[in-house]
Structure 1
Amino acid sequence: MQKKRHRRRPSGRRPQNRNFRNKKALDPSNFIKQAQPVEEIEFIAPLSFSEMDIHESLKETIAKKGYVNPTEIQSKTYEDLVEGRDVVGIANTGTGKTGAFLIPIIQQLLTNNKKFQTLIVLPTRELALQVEQEFKSITKGMKLYSSTLIGGTNVNKDIAKLRRPNDFIIGTPGRILDMMNQKALRLGGFDILVLDEFDRMLDMGFVKDVQKIAAAMPKRKQTMLFSATIDQTQYDLIEELVDNPFHISVSSGTTSTDSVEQDIVKVGGRDKLGLLTSMLENKEFKKVLIFAETKRTVNKLNQQLRKKGIRTDMIHGDKSQNYRVSALRKFKNSNIQVLIATDVVARGIDISDITHVINYQPPTSMDSYIHRIGRTGRAGKMGHAYTFID
């Protein structure tokens, strides 16, 4: 049965650039917090993947990936999502969110007589590529197909990809809209919309783009919206996108992680670069993610640290897609000690063993701060975050 949806007419406005210098600085006390020795209550799934009502082919690929038990969000959402219900989920990166939406959709494709199409929208290229990789590994041998649409790639190749059958389209808002405007992508017949890292998309100014994409899918039967945080002011927009959803939360969505020791470094009149270098020379700083607010600062800092013999690389919006993928791979494989970045990687990079996050330039919002430091203190490990204050 087709759902009736009433939505505001979206405009085609593009994301606005934000000038962080005009924003009020955050209180430095926000960046100081002792890690709390949390006694973790391990989630025990009532059923393993092998015991769940999942197609045998899908069970096989899940087992080959080494997954035995579903995570909390996967276990608590599976049945409702397979039945086609809308969801609003609060969950951090690293909680198994990608599997939480991919597995039920793939199950529907394998068990329904009728084929359908799914659109997955993510805020960054890196996240889109990660979802594509996960999709390909879970669907190996199933004859299910996807195309990924992200900036920094050849537009004509994307148009060619869209001419062939696709069960899934995975992409960032800008490139998806580009393909829609060129009539290469028509979303009218798509059944499922997934909006992942929704709060980050809003932070990046994609609200109008998301509304336009959603409005192009008026006949969709299911919407899945996942976010690490949800602000009270966002509920009107969320209600515009989902229809009678069930809500699931596996994180508070409001506070920084308790497993991260947080402190500030007061620079005063001291040599800021020298302070940073002395920290990085400490053997405990094994894998360090450094954030700066501007691309220019990232470039400059990368050059300065390399001259001091520190193994570094960088990632920001001006870097080509191939460069960004290469830098992330080197960091993940520990071929470099330090990755310097703008907020483009504050979310969605699934690297579990980052020992330290350093805010060389403080963020302009607590939301940004939470997601920056959330890159450390993961997978049950203690993390450390330092914020430089002039």
Structure 2
Amino acid sequence: MNFKTLGISPEMINHLKKSGITIPTPIQDQTIPLILSGKDVIGEAQTGTGKTLAFLLPLFEKLSSKSPNIQALVLSPTRELAIQITQEAKKLAEAKAIGILPIYGGQDTAMQLKKLGKPVHLVIATPGRLLDHIGRKSIDLSKTTTFVLDEADQMLLMGFKNDVESITKQLPKKRQTLCFSATMDAPVKKLAYRYTSSPTTVTIAKKKITIEAIHQEIVETTDRHKQAALLQVLSEDNPYMAIIFCRTKRRVEVLYEAMKDKDYNCVRLHSDILQSKRERIMKSFKKGDIQYLIATDVAARGLDISGVTHIYNYDVPETPEAYIHRIGRTGRAGNDGYTCMFMSPKNEKEVSEIEAHIRFKIPRRILQDIL
């Protein structure tokens, strides 16, 4: 199994080698030949399994730098994921001169419009900002040959169904459509089949190894003592690089201020923070300049941050799926990870649902000095 047999060009393979990528992941192995052959594809695979390159690599093989038209559109539910896809695409563009235009909120619209004056072959966008351009008639998708709907489950969860419908009306009826999702329940399947034509479905079995590589624990506490319990755990663990998840922006802010007052090397990330600042925060965190990222679930989905050693669920996630997405930020690329969840008595039902879903009784971590 290698990229050459999948149909990837030597130039692209050499570029991948520079990034340390030599062997395709299962989702790449199964979808790349299908995409190169022009088939519509519905791909289901967990976050962190290489879905982004699974569609970007064949896209770059098919894109022509000689064409003046937008040939491919990648639609992403969040700015963070759009930024990550753009970063990957720009790396590939070093091997092939393809014009890439990211369109997401928090950017200078005038600058985006100016960039549209140059040949653009690939657009990576979030629904709202793309519809803004469509409304201004500043973007022409009538010659687009490939449409990628990424993280389709999140598109539905975040209420973008009508936006996706409006966007697809701007695309040619005769096109290739690729739909990728971490989960494929009935509503997501309905969405996927609506926009694809005779698709081939590829399902990569969920890897238990992802969770088995993560040492999970629970600290039983109360809302009153939760912050003290977290700070004691952080003092004991002193993690190299950690994400602390809270349910709401308000709770992120409160915890951030408390940790900042105690001189923790921390930053916070949520949707109220300006996009330009969010990008700077993520860059600093990825470089390892920041020890603790305190975040809402906006950071849990799609972001590929290597080096995260610990995940702390300060607030119990609302669903078992959200728990898996959160802890999936650690234990990546063959490395072990650690995750700790702070449970108050009111969370017992949610924790039981998580344990039933992962078929594992999470061991309790005992803190001696906390009431």
CA distance in 2, matches of 1:75, 1:166: 28
Contact 1:256 1:374 in 2 (8 A): yes
CA distance in 2, matches of 1:49, 1:231: 31
Q: Residue 339 of structure 1 corresponds to which residue in structure 2? A: 293
Q: 1:129, CA displacement in angstroms?
A: 1.6
Q: 1:273, CA displacement in angstroms?
A: 1.2
Aligned length: 344
CA distance in 2, matches of 1:129, 1:113: 24
Q: Residue 198 of structure 1 corresponds to which residue in structure 2? A: 152
TM-score (norm 1): 0.81
Work out whether 1:374 is the aligned partner of 2:296.
no
Q: Secondary structure at the match of 1:281?
A: helix
Q: Deviations over 1:61-84 (max 9, x none)?
A: 333333222222222222111011
- Closer, same or farther: CA 111–209 of 1 in aligned 2, 3 Å: closer
CA distance in 2, matches of 1:188, 1:123: 22
Q: Residue 162 of structure 2 corresponds to which residue in structure 1? A: 208
Q: Residue 189 of structure 1 corresponds to which residue in structure 2? A: 143
Q: 1:248, CA displacement in angstroms?
A: 1.4
Q: Residue 193 of structure 2 corresponds to which residue in structure 1? A: 239
CA distance in 1, matches of 2:60, 2:97: 11
- Closer, same or farther: CA 264–121 of 1 in aligned 2, 3 Å: same
Q: Residue 354 of structure 1 corresponds to which residue in structure 2? A: 308
One-letter amino acid matched to 1:97: K
Map 1:2-21 onto structure 2 (within 5 A). Answer: none
Work out whether 1:90 is the aligned partner of 2:67.
no
CA distance in 2, matches of 1:337, 1:59: 34
Report which structure shows greater RCO (CA 8 Å, sep ≥6): 1
Q: 1:220, CA displacement in angstroms?
A: 4.2
Contact 2:146 2:177 in 1 (8 A): yes
Q: Deviations over 1:174-223 (max 9, x none)?
A: 11111111211232221111111221222222222122222321424111
CA distance in 2, matches of 1:121, 1:282: 42
Q: Residue 234 of structure 2 corresponds to which residue in structure 1? A: 280
- Closer, same or farther: CA 361–219 of 1 in aligned 2, 3 Å: same
Q: Runs of at least 4 residues of structure 1 off by over 4 A?
A: 110-116, 253-256
CA distance in 1, matches of 2:203, 2:162: 26
Contact 1:50 1:68 in 2 (8 A): no
Contact 1:109 1:116 in 2 (8 A): no
Q: Gaps (5+ residues) in structure 2?
A: 345-371
Q: Residue 248 of structure 2 corresponds to which residue in structure 1? A: 294
Contact 2:219 2:340 in 1 (8 A): yes
CA distance in 1, matches of 2:39, 2:237: 49
Contact 1:230 1:253 in 2 (8 A): no
One-letter amino acid matched to 1:274: A
Work out whether 1:77 is the aligned partner of 2:48.
no
Q: Secondary structure at the match of 1:363?
A: coil
Work out whether 1:130 is the aligned partner of 2:78.
no
CA distance in 2, matches of 1:269, 1:344: 23
Q: Residue 61 of structure 1 corresponds to which residue in structure 2? A: 15
**Greater alpha carbon shift after TM alignment, 64-73 vs 261-270:** 261-270
Contact 2:70 2:123 in 1 (8 A): no
Q: Residue 112 of structure 2 corresponds to which residue in structure 1? A: 158
Contact 1:191 1:219 in 2 (8 A): no
Q: Deviations over 1:113-156 (max 9, x none)?
A: 99761000112212212211211211215321010011111122
Q: 1:58, CA displacement in angstroms?
A: 2.8
Contact 1:373 1:385 in 2 (8 A): yes
Map 1:297-308 onto structure 2 (within 5 A). Answer: 297-308=251-262
Q: Gaps (5+ residues) in structure 1?
A: 1-44
Q: 1:340, CA displacement in angstroms?
A: 0.6
Q: 1:93, CA displacement in angstroms?
A: 2.9
Contact 1:256 1:370 in 2 (8 A): no
